Amino acid sequence: MNTQNRKDLLKQGAIWGFIVLELAFFSIAGSFLSVTETAFLSLDNMLLLLQQSAPIGIIALGMTIVMINGNIDLSVGATFALAAIVMLDSLTWPFMQALGDWAIPLSWFFALMTGVVLGAVNGLIVWKTGVDAFIVTLGSMLGFRGLVFMYNGEQPTSHLNWTLVDFAEAQFLGLSTASWFLLGVALILWLLMTRTVHGRNAYAIGNNRDAAVNAGIRVGPHFLLNFILIGFLAALSGVVFSAGTGSVNPNDGMLYELWAITAVVLGGTKLAGGYGSIVSTLGGVIAIQLLRKGLGHIGAGTEVVNLVIGLILIVVLFLDRQLNRKGKEELKI
């Protein structure tokens, strides 16, 4: 049992070890190759990194829950864009403008409700039809993106509200608003998954759905709740992101679903469900952002960054498989 515990620890600690490795590599390589004079491992840089990883990070945390539950959600990028548009556009509505700054919380409410509704649509379809979540959300990914374009065509939706910008750029205890949202969401979801019955049932459903059904767990409502959650979080991510820029393109949020899944998988969550942790996903999110920033720091272009992240993802999954093998005696495939 002892070796098992050590193995678990190794599995959960691996992502943090990887982050330390990245930090060390980029600090050392940076001192030789850096295009700028600033140090990589400065506090400011790290805080910026946390802030930058927030949009995808918030989505990835929600994705963890859905994936532990044994589902997947590909429509988060479109939800992200639609929620951002709803928020910015609602601020321009006449009755909202009459409200002054009180329009801001109301616009957030509209945007977040958009996410909740879209998530509920996904969840209800998966629950009631029994169609695989991959297919359902592939459809809704296209559908929701269609809604985004219907809203404003190819035009970006912009509305600069200075109160909103101030809020987005505010700092509290050294952390920016976006970072606080990321950490807050992580804390709440961590509590949800480890402490509540809903969280534990989500693990059970993802791990062995038949067993869960036999034990009388109502699988459908849990699915629905988790899809609503990720819809809400995708919208929250869109709101936090567009609050700062005051503008959103209809193509914003594209491929976010894939980045989120990458972070989740890098954090060790099983694609098939039943295993994973919120904290590890947070690690995965930070690791990816570190890689992007670090490679940029030593002068590599975006195309190189994508290539490296792709390679690392495959290597990580390969290593994970090796770790779970029983040595040379195991069955060959």
Partner 1 sequence: MTDQTPVLRLEGVVKTFPGVRALDGVSFDLRPGEVHALMGENGAGKSTLMKVLGGIYDPNEGQIYVAEEPVTIASPMQAKARGVVFIHQELSLADELTVAENIWLGELPLKSFGRVDWNKLYADTDAILETLNVGFDARTRVGDLSIANQQMVEIARALTVDPRAVIFDEPTASLTDAEKVVLFEVIADLQSKGVGIIYISHRMEEIFKITDRISVLRDGQYRGTLNTAETNEEEVTQLMIGRKLDLSRNESHHELGDVALEVRDLSCGELFKDVNFQVRRGEVVGFYGLVGAGRTEIAETIFGLRDPSAGQILLNGEEVRIHSSMDAIARGISLVPEDRKGQGLVLGMNCRDNMTLPQVDDLTAGPFVSDGAEVAIFDQYRDKLDIRTPGWRQTVGNLSGGNQQKIVIGKWLSMHPEVLIVDEPTRGIDVGSKSEIHNLIRDLAAQGYAVIVISSEMPEVLHVSDRIVAMFSGKVMRTFTSEEVTEDSLIQAISGLEGDKVA
Contact set with partner 1 (CB under 8 A): 1, 4, 195-198, 200-201, 203-204, 207-208, 210-217, 274-275, 327-332
Give me 92's structure tokens.
Answer: 């321009």
Compute φ and ψ for 327, nearest 5 degrees.
90, -165
Give me 149's structure tokens.
Answer: 């374009």
Strand partners, 176: 171
Shortest distance (Å) from residue 320 CB to partner 1: 15
Nearer to partner 1, 116 or 212 (CB): 212
- C-alpha to C-alpha distance for 184 and 255, rounded to whole angstroms: 24
Shortest distance (Å) from residue 70 CB to partner 1: 11
Shortest distance (Å) from residue 127 CB to partner 1: 17
Nearer to partner 1, 170 or 272 (CB): 272
CA angle 227, 231, 236 (to 5 degrees): 145
- C-alpha to C-alpha distance for 321 and 143, rounded to whole angstroms: 36
- Asked if 157 and 89 touch (Cβ cutoff 8 Å), the reply is yes
Nearer to partner 1, 213 or 319 (CB): 213
Going 130 to 135 to 136 to 139, the CA torsion angle's sign is negative
Helices 278-297 and 256-266: angle between axes, nearest 10 degrees:
110
Shortest distance (Å) from residue 178 CB to partner 1: 27
- C-alpha to C-alpha distance for 100 and 106, rounded to whole angstroms: 11
- C-alpha to C-alpha distance for 288 and 5, rounded to whole angstroms: 27
Give me 105's structure tokens.
Answer: 């919380």
Shortest distance (Å) from residue 207 CB to partner 1: 4
Nearer to partner 1, 49 or 225 (CB): 225
In angstroms, the Cα distances linking 255 to 115, 145, 190 are 17, 12, 25
Shortest distance (Å) from residue 15 CB to partner 1: 18
Nearer to partner 1, 173 or 197 (CB): 197
Shortest distance (Å) from residue 20 CB to partner 1: 27
- C-alpha to C-alpha distance for 181 and 187, rounded to whole angstroms: 10
Nearer to partner 1, 141 or 265 (CB): 265
Nearer to partner 1, 20 or 197 (CB): 197
